Chain A
Amino acid sequence: MSSVLEYVGVSRSFKGVPALRDVSFSVGEGEVVGLIGRNGAGKTTLINIAIGLLYPGSGDVRVFGLSPTGNPVAVKARIGYVSEEGHLRGGRTIRELIAFHRGLFDVWDDKVEREILDRFGLSVNARISRLSKGQRRQVGLLCAVCHRPDLLLLDEPASGLDPAARREFLEAAILLLNREGTTILFSSHQMTDVERLGGRIVLLDDGKVKLDRELDRVREEMFVAIVPRSSVPDAGTLEKIPGCLRVRSVRDEWHVVVEGADEDVHQRLKSSIGHNGIPCVRMPLEEIFIELVGGTRNKEIA
């Protein structure tokens, strides 16, 4: 699988405050990758670097093998981008906006345009200033996909939308996936959306890649063990368990995230703690997310 987007050791600071630290991962052709992480983890910075809106401080980013800041036109012609803010510039009505965007690209797919307008029930005469938040995002998607991009970058495309608008947006994204097999990198706080779009997840924590896994592996090969602090006073013992991703202090318990096959994990826990009977469960994505990046009371084990 050739890689469409590649980050190699990317770091970036703003006024001396590091936003990204040595981030490396790539997105292969046809892959759908969900970028997750807390607010301020660096998701938007990472996407902006791929579009060429920001330079990486150090490291390298390649889109279709090109530098997005070195070859801005060639790169932008092949990517589509929808931002959280949903800026729509270039026209007062949807018709004007479409005409403006059409003029930017060599290719414009009228069929996709028609399909998205119909699907969302948008009128080309509608004034941009009168659109709802959800409609603005829909128009944003339209402008981002009609030039048939090879890579779609969606920065929290569904945030702030009501559940129905969110689902409609998701339906349109799934439609595109089926029709075009577009490569997608999207960031989201909605774990259920991440599950629906599927593929792989990259979890950013404080500017670093904390986890990069197939979604199904996270769902099936990641366990959370609840260990009373009375039985293991020191977090260090638990951190040494093979496959341990995090030890989090929650009241009088340790929450230990361990990766591996079901029986394997139980065996490892047993040999580390010395006895059986530690509750160890599979958790939904949202819970795993919280266990991996959620707050802890003991700073030293964070």
Chain B
Amino acid sequence: MHIYITRSMFIVVNPGAELSIYRQIMRQIVEAIASARLQAGEKLPSHRELSEQLVVAPLTIKKAYDELEALGYIETQRGRGTFVSEKLPKVDKSDQLDKIEAAARQLLSLAYLGGFQLPDIIKILKDLDRELTTAPVRGKERV
């Protein structure tokens, strides 16, 4: 498995998945930022480092970084590298709440269809929260 793993970040790509590779990378970096595993001002791996680690074309990494930069999550400092933005993009809270509600509705429908109850879901959410907010441990790979 080709993964990029550090104290603050965990990236894995799956070329056969529905989402294109650059979007998979974007999503995982945003997740790391959102869960504060990646802190403002923290340095991101170089295009080359990530490209060789994940075995994907350097241009794919560049595209993911460019889009993240355009969205305001990261910034490139000439000659120094790429860093998590000090000022993260403001998200419209009510807009975000709508999205969360829609996702929750879908989540619950899936659960009920499978015969699961609310407590099962709460347990999954708690586990996921722990997983997303604590740093991955080397040697204990999650997939």
Contact of B21 (CB < 8 Å), options: A167, A171, A191, A198: A198
A199-B55 contact given A219-B20, A284-B18, A286-B16, CB 8 Å threshold: no
A191-B16 contact given A177-B58, A197-B57, A198-B21, CB 8 Å threshold: yes
Interface size on A, residues (CB 8 A): 24
Interface size on B, residues (CB 8 A): 19
* B48/A195 in contact, CB under 8 A: no
Tell me the residues in window 59-106 of chain B with beta carbons closer than 8 Å to chain A beta carbons. Answer: 59-60, 63
Decide if A192 is an interface residue (CB 8 Å cutoff): yes
- CB-CB nearest in chain A for B14: A192
- CB-CB nearest in chain A for B46: A178
* A216/B18 in contact, CB under 8 A: no
Per-residue contact bits, chain B 43-58, to A (CB 8 Å; 1 contact, 0 not): 0000110011001111
* A contact residues around B59 at 8 Å (CB): 32, 198-199
* B contact residues around A191 at 8 Å (CB): 15-16
Per-residue contact bits, chain A 138-153, to B (CB 8 Å; 1 contact, 0 not): 0000000000000000
Contact of A196 (CB < 8 Å), options: B18, B48, B57: B57
* A contact residues around B10 at 8 Å (CB): none
* B contact residues around A198 at 8 Å (CB): 21, 56-57, 59-60
* B55/A195 in contact, CB under 8 A: no
* A195/B21 in contact, CB under 8 A: yes
A283-B22 contact given A174-B56, A198-B59, CB 8 Å threshold: no
A196-B52 contact given A32-B57, A216-B63, A219-B20, CB 8 Å threshold: no
* A174/B55 in contact, CB under 8 A: yes
A174 to B22, CA, bound (A): 16
Decide if A170 is an interface residue (CB 8 Å cutoff): yes
A127 to B22, CA, bound (A): 42
A171-B55 contact given A195-B15, A286-B16, CB 8 Å threshold: yes
* A contact residues around B18 at 8 Å (CB): 282-284
Q: Is the interface of A mostly helix, strand, loop or mixed?
A: helix
* B contact residues around A195 at 8 Å (CB): 15-16, 20-21, 56
A216-B20 contact given A178-B48, A198-B59, CB 8 Å threshold: yes
> In the complex, what's the smallest C-beta–C-beta distance from A101 to chain B, in angstroms?
26
Per-residue contact bits, chain B 120-143, to A (CB 8 Å; 1 contact, 0 not): 000000000000000000000000
Decide if B17 is an interface residue (CB 8 Å cutoff): yes
Per-residue contact bits, chain B 1-27, to A (CB 8 Å; 1 contact, 0 not): 010000000000001111011100000
Per-residue contact bits, chain A 160-182, to B (CB 8 Å; 1 contact, 0 not): 00000001001100110110000
- CB-CB nearest in chain B for A216: B20
- CB-CB nearest in chain B for A194: B15
* A contact residues around B63 at 8 Å (CB): 216
A197 to B21, CA, bound (A): 11
* A196/B15 in contact, CB under 8 A: yes
> In the complex, what's the smallest C-beta–C-beta distance from B2 to chain A, in angstroms?
8
A191 to B15, CA, bound (A): 8
* A contact residues around B51 at 8 Å (CB): 174, 177-178
Decide if A220 is an interface residue (CB 8 Å cutoff): yes
> In the complex, what's the smallest C-beta–C-beta distance from B12 to chain A, in angstroms?
13
* A284/B16 in contact, CB under 8 A: yes
* B16/A171 in contact, CB under 8 A: no
A286 to B15, CA, bound (A): 10
Tell me the residues in window 256-298 of chain A with beta carbons closer than 8 Å to chain B beta carbons. Answer: 282-284, 286
> In the complex, what's the smallest C-beta–C-beta distance from A64 to chain B, in angstroms?
22
A177 to B60, CA, bound (A): 12
10 A-B pairs besides A178-B58, A198-B60, A284-B17 with CB distance below 8 A are: A167-B2, A171-B55, A174-B52, A178-B47, A196-B21, A196-B57, A198-B57, A198-B59, A215-B20, A219-B20
Instruction: Please list the 8 inter-chain residue pairs (A to B) with the smallest Cβ-Cβ separation, ordered nearest first.
Output: A198-B57, A195-B15, A192-B15, A219-B20, A198-B60, A178-B48, A196-B56, A178-B58
